Amino acid sequence: MASASLLKSSPVLDKSEWVKGQTLRQPSVSVVRCLPYAPSPLTIRAGSYADELVKTAKIVASPGRGILAMDESNATCGKRLASIGLENTEANRQAYRTLLVSVPGLGNYISGAILFEETLYQSTTDGKKIVDILVEQKIVPGIKVDKGLVPLAGSNNESWCQGLDGLASRTAAYYQQGARFAKWRTVVSIPNGPTELAVKEAAWGLARYAAISQDNGLVPIVEPEILLDGEHGIERTFEVAQKVWAEVFFYLAENNVLFEGILLKPSMVTPGAECKERNTPQQIADYTLKLLQRRIPPAVPGIMFLSGGQSEVEATLNLNAMNQSPNPWHVSFSYARALQNTCLKTWGGRPENVKAAQEALLIRAKANSLAQLGKYTGEGESEEAKKGMFVKGYVY
């Protein structure tokens, strides 16, 4: 376990002591010299925000609640609007985002909302600040801070996530605007390897982002998404996920990140979307929980799963299966399409459909709230909610 308290007194491990894809190999007792009077060279740096970071993370990871991911870039939001016949204009994006944040009672099931930069500074159609509306609902505002994926030179057609340049000043400004957590999404592709270079780059970028965010008062959501693309089985996903998360936590510790002040947004351990053999929610839960138990320190307060193209119902069923017995962490959701899909189609861009669309979002939020508590049954779900949303080569 690499909690903040243990890190302060643990010996610093040389890189050679790290076995890729495995757990930390502790040095022999004969070579560890304990000097009780000497300060440890490894300290946790969260500045003056440490207490606030821990408090914010606990609020977001509160029982029966999860995250509404509504941080689609303007281009991606435009694709969603185009699917219902709307033009990608600021006014239409504002109307849709207003619909989402102003759902009565949403804060009963949603603890945090990830926003795009435009949304963080945006007002609703009624002229109220979106951040203020969220706070009134007891929903913590968050902000997407990465600058998207670009090709990774020297890799097997893989990507890396850009956005570290200027991140310190941007996160400081976002904090002043009311954001209290951040999100950085990078991806790992199983059909393309993943190469060691791609895994290392993903892990290092996430760790630097996390350290910078904490220094400026934002709880970092750490998200190395293992893409659903591919024909591989669940065992291969499990193998890759172990390697990725081992690397991520090694570099988080190297960068002195306070584990109690982060949240994770992993993929569930599922087979590739094009794999012929499908797995039950219980099998997915078993593999996913085994991964968490092997790789995630109990000091981390919350695991907020992404849906990654699963249908609304599938994502909820899998989450419910993971909460049938107590876990060391708050195991919950951070869904975008798996919360918004039916809502968006119900709205259709028509003012007269706003109330029905908001009810559709509330139904999904409540279903996932029940799943977080292990009480979801799946009864009465619509056919729309059962439709898969996987898109091969999906660009976020």
| Closest to 315 measured CA to CA, from 371, 357, 255, 258 | 371
Contact criterion met (CB below 8 Å) for 368 and 322: no
Q: Which of 144, 183, 243, 265 is catalytic?
A: 265
| Residue located via tokens 């954001």 | 179
Contact criterion met (CB below 8 Å) for 222 and 252: yes
Q: Is 20 a catalytic residue?
A: no
| Residues 127, 129: Cα–Cα separation, whole Å | 7
| Closest to 218 measured CA to CA, from 277, 178, 249, 275 | 178
What's the one-letter identity of residue 144?
K
Contact criterion met (CB below 8 Å) for 336 and 76: no
Cβ-in-10-Å burial (0-12, 13-18, 19+) of 177 comes to: middle
Q: Which of 158, 201, 223, 247 is catalytic?
A: 223
87-95 contact pairs (CB < 8 A, 24+): 90/118, 92/349, 93/118, 94/122, 94/123, 94/124, 94/125, 95/125, 95/349
Name the β-bridge partners of 24: 18
Residue 157 gets the label, from left (phi > 0), alpha (psi -120 to 50) or beta, of: left
Buried b (16+ CB within 10 A) or exposed e, 270-294: bbbbebeeebebebbbbbbbebbee
Q: Is 265 a catalytic residue?
A: yes
| Residues 268, 315: Cα–Cα separation, whole Å | 9
DSSP 8-class letter at 312: H
Contact criterion met (CB below 8 Å) for 202 and 161: yes
Contact criterion met (CB below 8 Å) for 113 and 72: no
**CA atoms in the 13 A half-sphere facing the CB of 32:** 14
Would you list the DSSP string of 195-235?
-HHHHHHHHHHHHHHHHHHHHTT-EEEEEEEE---SS--HH
Q: Where in the sequence numbering do the catalytic residues fall?
A: 223, 265
